A = this chain, B = another copy of it.
Amino acid sequence: MSLVSRNIRDYLRKVRTHRNVSVKNSPAPDLMAAACPSRDVLRRLTGRWGMLVLWALAEGPQRFGSLRRQVGGISERMLAQTLQGLETDGLVLRHDFGTVPPHVEYALTPLGHEAAARVDALLGWIESSLPRIAQGWNG
């Protein structure tokens, strides 16, 4: 048993006593409601590829192929689908130069940059915290 687990009782008591009473006071966020339209946005954003694509675009506009190479493991099909979803929510702008051969660039909208900032914070945390997270996987 890990050190954390041994102290679980103490830990739970500490957290409980520090719990503010706002649980009952403040109404449950809309996202907690099963029918909230935010759920759709959440799913398009947090699908298997959404946040990774947004993360990649945070560095600057990119073409389809470049994006596909940067996001490891994504198929053409899923990249196209993911980009369309992000476009639906106004996070990504698609610009077709109309040339032959095709040249299409994807860029974050101002709204997309706002989202990307939050995504950056989360993905960056996961990455930098992986050693600590992985510690629990073996013991």
Contacts and interface: CB of A to CB of B under 8 A. Distances in A.
Contact of A93 (B8, B88, B129): B8
Contacts of A37: 130, 134
Contacts of A78: none
User: How many copies of this chain sit in the oligomeric assembly?
Assistant: 2
A100 interface: no
Interface residues of A, number: 75
Contacts of A70: 28, 32
B132 A29 contact: no
Interface string A18-50: 011011101011111111111001110111100
B12 A59 contact: no
Contacts of A91: 133
